[in-house]
Copies of this chain bind each other. A is one copy, B any other.
Amino acid sequence: MIQLNNKTYTCPVDVTLGFIGGKWKLLILSHLHQFDRKSYSEIRDNLPGISEKMLSQQLKELERDQLVEKKILALKPYRVEYFLSVQGKSLSPLYAFVSEWGIKYLKEQGIDYLKDQHLYK
């Protein structure tokens, strides 16, 4: 067992899951990976089903864990943008692989995501 920051992990995989585990983290991260910089409402609108509570909560945790950074663009009207930090970008191969794997799986099921992407908005 690995002790770190008052938490216990069973193995390195468990450690990584501590950062990206849960229902939304990987979806948020891979969206930022795909679209570079996004406002709060852009992320929300690109993740159908997420509640505002979950979005702000997960973003806050991702900031705390230094995977995501926030930049305040303007105070009135209040505008921000979120983007992957260096640490967050170090997981880029993961976002890419998980997305590719999904696309490949869909293709095996007869769904051409890349071709029909406009249909899935």
Contacts and interface: CB of A to CB of B under 8 A. Distances in A.
A73 interface: no
A81 to B, nearest CB: 21
Nearest to A114: B12
A31 to B, nearest CB: 8
A113 B95 CA distance: 24
| Copies of this subunit | 2
A15 B105 contact: yes
Interface string A30-67: 10000000000000000111000000000000000000
Interface residues of A, number: 37
A26 B15 contact: no
A76 interface: no
Interface in A1-46: 1-2, 4, 10-17, 21, 23, 26-27, 30
A102 B14 contact: yes
A86 interface: no
Given A90-B101, A93-B97, A101-B91, A13 B30 contact: yes
A7 to B, nearest CB: 12
5 contacts: A13-B27, A13-B30, A13-B102, A15-B106, A93-B97
